[in-house]
Structure 1
Amino acid sequence: MPCLFNRPSSLLFTTYYITRILLLLPLCILVLYLGLQRWQQQRSTSMAAMTHSDSFTYHMVAMELTSVFGNALCCFGVFLDHFLVLFVGLHFWALTWYGETFFHILTCVERYLAVVHPVIYLSLRGERGIRIRNISIGCVWLIYFGAIGLMHFEYFLFVDFCLLILSLIVVSFCSLSVLHILIRPGPGEQGGDKERVDQSKRRAFYTIWAILGVLLLRCFVSLIWTLVQMSDDNECMISTMVEFWLNFPSSLVLPLLFLHRAGTLACCKNNT
């Protein structure tokens, strides 16, 4: 992407990198701090272990911290006019895209099982489910590091687009399935448990649809960027900046949903 390294665009990209650092760094630290508090409470009491979706969020936040480090390297690379530092920073930041995508998929599948197949989901909350979850998380981290070689592959844009389409198919299927169950409540959702079950369904529904929204946005802008990236420098710079900014919500959705569930966000404390 030659247009990324033109001097006229340095200020625009540096502004974007600094914005990511200022927004993501405190957000990630807050999520990890709350996660550490919960872990300490679980050790000192008989509370149940963390949910699978929270575990996915913690690992995604840890991965986002590597992208923040990459953004900092990018800023230093621009200020120092050092191509190698900028190149390394871009790799740290860009690799997070793969981890985000798979953690979004895993979160949606977890919510789908909780609502559509509750019996299977309950059976996966024990050691067997934790083992499957840890293996899945390990695979995502392996893909994250393995993507370093993929980025130098000649057809990596095609692979990225196929991964994006796959994620949209999975998340769309989970969304429609949860919506179907939400519209048609089951026979066990009567009496005193109805409100609790409905809240659980709504939480899963909002989570999946929020992820679907950012994936649809990401798919649209990625397609536009792919179509214009081979054009002249100005169009490349503009399309790349638009893609960067419109892909930013995909980094925020899981941490913000976590803080919403925890009642930390000031705008949702009363509702929670």
Structure 2
Amino acid sequence: MSINSSSTNATLDLLYHCFDVPITFFISVAFTATKFLLFVPLFILVLHVGQQRRRRRRRHPSVTTSHSDVFTFHMAAVELISVLGSCFFCCVFYSDLPQMKIVGFYALHIVFPGQILFHTLTCVERYLAVVHPVTYLGLKQSGGVRIRNMSCGCVWLLCFGWSGVIALYMPELPVVPFLSLLVFSLSVVSFCSLSVLCVLIRPGPGEVGGDRERVDQSKQRAFCTIMAILGVLLLMFAVYLGGSALYAASLLSYADGCVAMSSALWLNLPNSLVLPLLFLHRAGKLECCSNAE
């Protein structure tokens, strides 16, 4: 009991100090309002389209859903939990409900491992589709679906387990575990991007005429998806590595560190957007992009 109490007190001390900085408070509130007003409708639309596809698949069993789309649905669910946790945390912060503040704080932060791992799984799926098409076709069967579902379940477990990592490192941030996970993801995604690029440059035998053009377009879409994910992960890595280096070198005061940490959340927005926007674009729900093409 004493360990849990000390961890809670340390967490609240850290949060109160940061929220005592007026700029930090306004940045956090603006960030929460932006995500709630703009992102919640986007994530709900993604889940709605997914539910429509599920109903269509029940009526027509031949219709299949790609693994990357399923990863996007799970990503949208994780994002919704994070947004609701952020709203919950801000709403009850100045109330006398410390346990609710902690719940909101942990719900806000489960999004980070979810973003990283679902991005990685999407890139691996695109890699298999391009580089190992025979294996990929086999994974579309029931065995592949089980592997996909187990992978999603493991990501959810790691998301909720991240709360324990945060509690273990309090009042500091879990910089080393976070950057280690991010470096692992960047390594996997970089390998996938290079492998797909090599296949894209050197088409396989038998890809002639219209078939070759169609296959090349599919490979190009896979490569663009992987590169978009790699870009947002590199941005996340640069932001957190730079902030950690400045804080470790004592170049930032505690107040400046709080401001930098809350401001860095804005640079994390592309991580929340890339998979939903790519999915809606493929589904034809972004009319402006479709018209532009």
> Which of 167, 185, 204 is the matching residue for 1:167?
185
CA distance change for structure 1 residues 78 and 265 in 2, over 3 Å: closer, same or farther?
A: same
- Secondary structure of the residue that 2:167 maps to in structure 1? coil
Check if 1:247 corresponds to 2:276. no
Check if 1:191 corresponds to 2:212. no
> Which of 47, 60, 71 is the matching residue for 2:86?
71
Match of 1:270 in 2: 291
Deviations 1:94-126 (A, max 9, x none): 111111111011000000000011111111110
Higher Rg: 2
> Which of 30, 46, 70 is the matching residue for 1:15?
30
Paired with 2:160 and 2:98, the residues of 1 have a C-alpha distance of 22
Match of 2:68 in 1: 53
> Which of 261, 266, 272 is the matching residue for 2:282?
261
Cα drift, residue 82 of structure 1: 5.5
Cα drift, residue 79 of structure 1: 5.7
User: RMSD between aligned alpha carbons?
Assistant: 1.8
Match of 1:25 in 2: 40
Equivalent residues in 2 for 1:197-236, closer than 5 Å: 197-229=215-247, 231-236=252-257
8 A contact 2:57–2:64 mirrored in 1: yes
- Secondary structure of the residue that 1:151 maps to in structure 2? helix
Show structure 1 runs of 5+ residues with no match: none
Cα drift, residue 5 of structure 1: 2.5
Paired with 2:174 and 2:90, the residues of 1 have a C-alpha distance of 25
CA distance change for structure 1 residues 84 and 11 in 2, over 3 Å: closer, same or farther?
A: farther
Paired with 2:79 and 2:269, the residues of 1 have a C-alpha distance of 11
Paired with 2:44 and 2:122, the residues of 1 have a C-alpha distance of 20
Task: Report the TM-score when normalising by structure 1.
Answer: 0.94
Paired with 2:99 and 2:82, the residues of 1 have a C-alpha distance of 17
Paired with 1:122 and 1:102, the residues of 2 have a C-alpha distance of 23
8 A contact 1:168–1:215 mirrored in 2: yes
Equivalent residues in 2 for 1:44-193, closer than 5 Å: 44-78=59-93, 80=95, 83-154=98-169, 156-193=174-211
Task: Report the TM-score when normalising by structure 2.
Answer: 0.87
- The number of aligned residues is 272
Paired with 1:234 and 1:135, the residues of 2 have a C-alpha distance of 42
8 A contact 1:105–1:171 mirrored in 2: yes
Paired with 1:11 and 1:87, the residues of 2 have a C-alpha distance of 20
8 A contact 1:99–1:140 mirrored in 2: yes
Cα drift, residue 144 of structure 1: 1.1
- Secondary structure of the residue that 1:152 maps to in structure 2? helix
Paired with 1:197 and 1:163, the residues of 2 have a C-alpha distance of 33
Cα drift, residue 46 of structure 1: 4.0
- Secondary structure of the residue that 1:264 maps to in structure 2? coil
Show structure 2 runs of 5+ residues with no match: 1-13
Q: Which sits farther off after the overlay, 138-147 or 41-50?
A: 41-50
Match of 2:5 in 1: none
Cα drift, residue 271 of structure 1: 5.9
Deviations 1:136-159 (A, max 9, x none): 011111111111111122383211
